[in-house]
Amino acid sequence: MQLTILKIVLWPKNTNLRPRVVPFEPGKINVITGDNGTGKSTLTWIVDYCLGSEKCSIPVGLIRDLTGWFGLHLKLANTEMIIARRNPEDQRSTTDLYWNEGLKLEVPAVVLKNARVDDLKNRFNQIGHLPSLDFATDDVVGYAGRPSSRDMAAFNFQPQHIIANPYTFFFKADTTEHREKLRIIFPLVLGSIDATTLAKQREFRDAEREHDKVRRELEARTTAARAWEAEVESYYLQAKGLGLLADAPSPSPNWGLDKYLLELRRVPDSVRRMDLPEVREGTNEAASGEFVRVAAEEDQLAQDTGSLKRRLDKIDQLAASLNDYGSSFTSQEDRLEGVGWLEEKLRDNHECPVCAAVHTDGNARLTELKTLAREMRTLAVSVRQAPAKLDQEQATLRQELRDKENLLSRARQKRKFLEERTSAFAAQRQRVRQIYLFVGRVEQALENVMSSRNVDDLQDKARALAERLARLRRELDGRSRQDRLDAAIDKVSARIADYAKSLRLEHATENVRLSIRELTLQFRPLSGRTDFLWEVGSGQNWVGYHLAGLLALHEHFNSLPHNPVPRFLMIDQPSQVYFPEAWPAIDKTPGGNKLSERSPDIEGVRRIFTVLSQFISVLKGQFQVIVTEHAGSITWQGIENVHLVANWREGHDDFLIPAEWQEKPK
């Protein structure tokens, strides 16, 4: 994908200040040199963030304290684009985006949100001709979603912690998600598969599902046909039993399915010709309604009869209790007869005939006894009168009970009659209903048998799908695809070896090869042992092979007609593994520093720039490299295709955050 960085732009929070613009040259090795803490390494994270990274990795501190928006001015194949993302402040990230695309663009003084990050990603997907289909296959699951422009970032950045890392070769491949996705998209970026291949893979999966569906339906119909073959004889015998095929012959052992079907097809016409009894609508319903009414009347009479019996039983129990109670009262009344005698004796002299005590004011106990005696006599009279009333009540209840029992007997006789009549109607209707239901089942069976036997259309469809699958299998032949992938890896690996030799790296002659499975480089010495990059010593080798691998990959990417990987590479501190005793003065032409006097460390860094220059020449300037470096100009002076962007040291160019941004207001 043709994408060149023209400028990195920072818009200050203080809108009275001018944006900070760092310009770059297309088709060159753009170098920014400077001291530690000047913002060189931050450029990598600004570019990554502006190209749609989900997380803002721009270091917190002065840069994020003073910057409101981070942006890029890009040159595409036919247009230019200015994009900016808002400083997320305390958030992990933000989706606020400024986006403008046109032929000739100027960096605006102020930017405002007008789009979302997802819109930008979709635009880059479109520019990179990335397919909208996913990688999901029977063998690829998990991280097999559609490829994204964000997946290509693995090939565009080599920050400090990656370029000299023996365990991680690609940017962000130190996380499981990016590592697994990178393994999946590698065949796409290497050109062994393309959007057409993914479309055919999707077509193959859809055709395979459709073929399985048709095959299952075909098997189901065949199974149903066999099942119906076992049922038709039973239906034939039932039809004869119901009198629907009275003149039909008895089945013969040599009868086939077609014979049974021929006979059963006569059943519907036979029913139409039969003189089935007419059951008038509502006849059975009326009888059933009368039966329900009589049954309800019977239930009510039974309840009334039971209630009368319970009342009569209680009155009988009450009469027996009154008899016992009356006898008891008679005894009590006899005991109180002496109260009258005692009252007569005390009427004149008030002297007790028993104890000779004198009661001139009356005797309270005697008064109580007199009151009790009167109440007992009154209650005894009531008890003696009660049996006559109970006898009358008993006679009335017995008469009502006899009347209810007579009514109940008549209701039961009527219910029995209606029950027999309703059963006759039900039996008659049941037989007619049974016949019609059977005819319906026979017609359905005949239809199912014919449907299950008519599989020509399904067989034709299954045959066409099988042919289509065979064609797609040939076009998606895994061996051919693997051969294309192996050829691409061989090509890239050969160029890695060439760059390694130019960088004078160890093991360059040991059959170095790119390993997609391990996402690193592997070496095979003559002994036959396989070693990986993390098993090869020396930081110089780690940095050199990272550069050799990325340059070889980009050389291959640019040879393809359409490749989604942007044509730029950002490298941060490739000289970090070289430690000369002293770098020559940065701002002076090294008068006494002849090539013969340079240290091996300086020569090692110069080889890096020399190889980068050779790479730019091979691609005829159709690629951009950005190097942020602590080393000075002695490491690249005299090398072609190198463009010094800035020297971020005291007394030279402004740092990433210019001095005027840091001035305190007066």
Which pLDDT score is estimated for 139?
52
State the DSSP H helix or E strand holding residue 532, giving kind and residue range, or none if neither.
strand 531-532
Indicate if the pLDDT at residue 27 is higher than 60: yes
Q: What is the mean pLDDT of the chain?
A: 81
User: What share of the chain in percent tops pLDDT 70?
Assistant: 71
The residue-averaged pLDDT of 477-504 equals: 90
Indicate if the pLDDT at residue 342 is higher than 60: no
The residue-averaged pLDDT of 210-238 equals: 75
Cα distance between residue 311 and residue 317, in whole Å: 10
Lowest model confidence (mean pLDDT) among 50-54, 340-344, 521-525: 340-344
Q: Which residue has the higher pLDDT, 476 or 97?
A: 97
DSSP assignment of 258-281: HHHHHHHTTHHHHHHHS-PPP--T
Indicate if the pLDDT at residue 356 is higher than 70: no
Cα distance between residue 394 and residue 518, in whole Å: 108
Maximum average pLDDT range among 188-192, 235-239, 314-318, 356-360: 188-192
Q: Which residue has the higher pLDDT, 586 or 186?
A: 186
Which pLDDT score is estimated for 596?
43
Residues with Cβ within 8 Å of 522's Cβ and at least 6 positions away in sequence, in order, are: 512, 513, 514, 515, 530, 531, 532, 533
Indicate if the pLDDT at residue 172 is higher than 80: yes
Lowest model confidence (mean pLDDT) among 328-332, 408-412, 563-567, 647-651: 328-332
Q: What is the CATH number of domain 283-436?
A: 1.10.287
The residue-averaged pLDDT of 238-253 equals: 70
Indicate if the pLDDT at residue 297 is higher than 70: yes
Lowest model confidence (mean pLDDT) among 229-238, 487-496, 562-571: 229-238
- The radius of gyration computed from the CA coordinates of the chain, to the nearest angstrom, equals 55
Which pLDDT score is estimated for 589?
45
Please tell me the total number of residues recorded for the chain in this structure. 666
Indicate if the pLDDT at residue 337 is higher than 80: no
Cα distance between residue 411 and residue 406, in whole Å: 9
Q: Are 351 and 419 in contact (CB under 8 A)?
A: no
Does the CA dihedral 35-37-39-40 come out positive or negative? positive
The residue-averaged pLDDT of 620-636 equals: 92
In the structure, what pLDDT confidence band is assigned to residue 491 with cuts at 50, 70 and 90? Answer: very high
Indicate if the pLDDT at residue 590 is higher than 50: no
Which pLDDT score is estimated for 593?
46
Cα distance between residue 629 and residue 575, in whole Å: 7
- Write the Ramachandran bin of 344: left for phi over 0, alpha for psi from -120 to 50, otherwise beta: alpha
Which pLDDT score is estimated for 514?
95
Which pLDDT score is estimated for 399?
85
List the chain domain ranges.
1-128+567-601+627-666, 283-436
